[in-house]
Amino acid sequence: MKPYRRKFALIAARPDVVLRVITPERWYESFQEIVFEPAGDMPCEEFPCPIRFSGYGSRFYYRRGLKPHFRDFQPHIIHLEEEAWSLNALQTVRLKRKYCPESRFIFRTSLSIPTKQRFGVLPIWIERRVFRETAHAFPLSENAGKILSERGYTGKQTPFPNGVDLRLFHKMDVRELKNSLGLTNCFVVGYVGRLLHMKGIDTLLEAVAQLAFRCKLLIVGQGEDEPSFRKTAETLGITDRVVWIDAVPPEEVPAYMNCMDALVLPSRTTPEWVEFFGRVLIEGMACEVPVIGSDSGEIPQVIGEAGLVFPEADATALAECLHQIAHDAALRTALVQRGLARVENFTWEAIAERTYHVYQQVLGQDDVS
């Protein structure tokens, strides 16, 4: 997706870098098909290639089109934004070994579940092969890095969070959109993401039902559990207080976030899943919206002092957080200012600078450890 290529656009703009971006030409995610579109501001070539198993992160691989980029381009660094146990990772390291064995390989991981999670024989075998070819790993967080080490990775690693594009995510005038959605003259609680039970939408609905002041809940996203959540809203008697919007393209998300007076990420940990980052929190901060998150996974670390955190699945505690933000103007102002300051650590500009620095290290051009 165009907004998430910003990091590589900034790296490619450096005079000492020649960069190619290889990406799926079509991808199915969050109940919508994403078709490759040139970013327009990329100072490098982009190569969309056909894939198999679109929508399955660990299973997808490129059907064709990769070989010339290894055989002819001969990159010094191969930076893969996929998990080490994925078929795409196996495909990449095989091409590396065959056509450019001197290249340095980097992969990125969003690991969030400890090693006790069951992995199949094939993913474990792939992972071990990929580890042997890796010069550096980019875990999404420090916790992901610890899990990566537990899984047997012994090489160098640097935590790199998800980023936010400040050209898209910022404060804007959305009065027309708010009017069209019926969100005027009330406190607007918001959620953006997949509509799945692990995301804790039922907790959010229960919390809103406890609020005695005039408010509405704006939910932006799609998911297989949406019918269940709609039924919960009906049972709670708040159907007329909930506005449901289907998943929208990333470029349209900022406008909906700007309709919100508080953005909530109420994720709930399960045996198979935990919130491994929570990009919407950073995006909300960039839009000057106070954020609230559960204590699932990395959410408290992402929020820091820039928002409120409540115990996951505790609707009463979440309702209290919403009440505080709605009725304490000083708190709202403080959270907005802290959020803007915190966002500076997550801009694509900052992440691109740190990524380039690691590239130098990997190539032996920098003695930073």
Neighbour count for residue 213 (Cβ, 10 Å): 10
* Cβ contacts of 241 within 8 Å, gap of 6 or more: 208, 215, 216, 217
The ranges assigned to domains in the chain are 2-163+347-362, 175-343
- Give 74: exposed, middle or buried? Use CB within 10 Å, 0-12, 13-18, 19+: exposed
Residue pointed to by tokens 């600078």: 353
Is 175-343 CATH 2.40.50.150?
Answer: no
Answer yes or no: is pLDDT of 171 > 80: yes
Phi-psi region of 65 (alpha: psi -120 to 50; beta: other; left: phi over 0): left
Cα of first residue to Cα of last residue in the chain, in angstroms, is 32
pLDDT at residue 59, as a whole number:
82
Answer yes or no: is pLDDT of 41 > 90: no
**Worst-scoring range by mean pLDDT, 32-41, 93-102, 229-238, 280-289?**
32-41
Answer yes or no: is pLDDT of 207 > 50: yes
Query: What is the residue-averaged pLDDT of the chain?
Result: 92
Q: Say if strands 32-35 and 26-29 run parallel, antiparallel, or are unpaired.
A: antiparallel
Give CA–CA dist 294/313, Å, rounded: 8
- The 10s digit of each residue's pLDDT in 85-144 is 999 999 999 999 999 999 999 999 988 776 555 568 899 999 999 999 999 999 999 889
Nearest by Cα to 180 from 212, 218, 206, 144: 218
Please give the average per-residue pLDDT across 219-238, as a whole number. 97
Query: Can 2-163+347-362 and 175-343 be said to share one CATH topology?
Result: yes
Nearest by Cα to 283 from 311, 268, 302, 300: 302
Does residue 216 contact residue 189 with C-beta atoms inside 8 Å?
yes
CATH superfamily of 2-163+347-362: Glycogen Phosphorylase B; (3.40.50.2000)
pLDDT band at 343 (very low <50, low <70, confident <90, very high): very high
Strand spans (E) along 183-324? 187-192, 215-220, 242-245, 262-265, 291-294, 307-310
Please give the average per-residue pLDDT across 310-324, as a whole number. 98
* Cβ contacts of 77 within 8 Å, gap of 6 or more: 103, 104, 105, 106, 359, 362, 363
Beta partners for 152? none
HSE of 267, CA atoms in CB hemisphere, 13 A: 22
Give CA–CA dist 287/263, Å, rounded: 10
Does residue 342 contact residue 300 with C-beta atoms inside 8 Å?
no
Does residue 278 contact residue 309 with C-beta atoms inside 8 Å?
no
H/E element, 10: helix 6-12
User: DSSP class of residue 17?
Assistant: -
pLDDT at residue 117, as a whole number:
52
pLDDT at residue 369, as a whole number:
36
